[in-house]
Amino acid sequence: MQKITPFLWFDNNAEEAVNFYTSLFDDSKILKVIRYDEASAKASDQKAGTAMTVAFKLEGQNFTVLNGGPHFKLNEAISFFVYCESDEKIEKIYNKLSEGGEVIFPLDKYDWSEKYAWVIDKFGLSWQLDVDKINNPQKILPALLFVNDKVLKVKEAVNYYSTVFPDSKIIMEWPYDKSAGLPDGTLLFAQFKLADHLFNAMSGMGEHKFDFNEAFSFVVNCKDQNEVDYYWNKLTSDGGSESQCAWLKDKFGISWQIVPTRLIELLGDPDPAKSQKVMMAMLKMKKIIIADLNV
C-alpha cells in the first residue's frame, strides 16, 4: 500500500474531476467510489447517492478526492509537479489542463527549465509541468509553496518532515543566490522523499493571498494503533493542532490524515448497517482509536 496518499477536497464535482484526470494521464483508472447513504449524507449536508470519496490512479500513483462541499478551496499553496519527459506529453497535458482554467506561467523556456508551465485547471487544482525527466517511477510530485511568514522555512520544514517519517531522504537543495540578501542557506527549492513518496518544496517571495489549508491534505496509511499514535503525536507537537475524524495540522499549517487500514476495512463492510455505525463512531473522534471502531 502507498504509505502517503494525496487527498483533495472538491465542492460536489469530484467524480467529474477524476474522470477528466484519468482520461489525461497514462496508467490511470478509477479504483473505488464510496457514495453517501442517507445517514452520512445528512451528517455531511450532502445528497444521498452522490460520491463521497473517489480513489483513483494517475501515472501508477494513488490519489483520493472527497466531495466535501464549499468549506475549503484548492489554491496554489500545494500543486502537483509533473515530470512529463517529452515535448509531446507536456504539450498535450498543458493544452487540456488550460481549457477553462487559468495560466500562471505559459508553456515556455525559463531559467530553470527548457519547457515549463504552471496552470490552474477548471476545478481549481494547480499543476506545474516540466519537460524534464526524473529518475524515479513517481512522475507526479506534490509541490509545497511556502509564502508570506513561512517563506524562509523550506529548509526547516524539509528537515522536520525527514525526522518524522522513516525511510526519508533529502535529494536536492537549491539555495537562493546571495544577491537576494537572505540568510545563508535559505532554500528556493528542495526535493525530498518521505516513506518512499517524493515531494518538492519551494519558497515564494512577495505577498500572496493564499496559504496551506484542508483542501489539500495527505493521508498517512497506518498498520496499527501504535503507528497512528506515533504520527499523530509527532505531527501535532510543537505548534501542530488536532482536528476531527483523523485530521490534523502540523506546525507549518499543512493538513494530514492519520488513518489506520482497519478503519478503511470497516467502512467497506458489505453490511451497510455495520459500516454506518463505524462512520458514526469515526465522526465523534479526533485521533482514530481502532478499538472504539468495533461497534
- Residues 8-31 have pLDDT tens digits of 999 989 999 999 999 999 999 999
The residue with greater pLDDT, 56 or 279, is 56
Q: Domain coordinates of the chain in residue numbers?
A: 4-72+216-293, 78-204
- Residues 25-66 have pLDDT tens digits of 999 999 999 887 766 666 666 777 778 899 999 999 999 999
The confidence score (pLDDT) of residue 47 equals 74
Q: Which CATH superfamily is domain 4-72+216-293 in?
A: 2,3-Dihydroxybiphenyl 1,2-Dioxygenase, domain 1 (3.10.180.10)
Asked if residue 192 has pLDDT above 70, the reply is yes
For the chain, what's the residue count? 295
Alpha-carbon gap, residue 131 to 87, rounded angstroms: 6
Pick the CATH number of 78-204 from 3.30.465.10, 3.40.50.300, 3.40.190.10, 3.30.720.110: 3.30.720.110
- Residues 65-103 have pLDDT tens digits of 998 888 999 999 999 999 999 999 999 999 999 999 999
How high does pLDDT run on average in the chain?
93
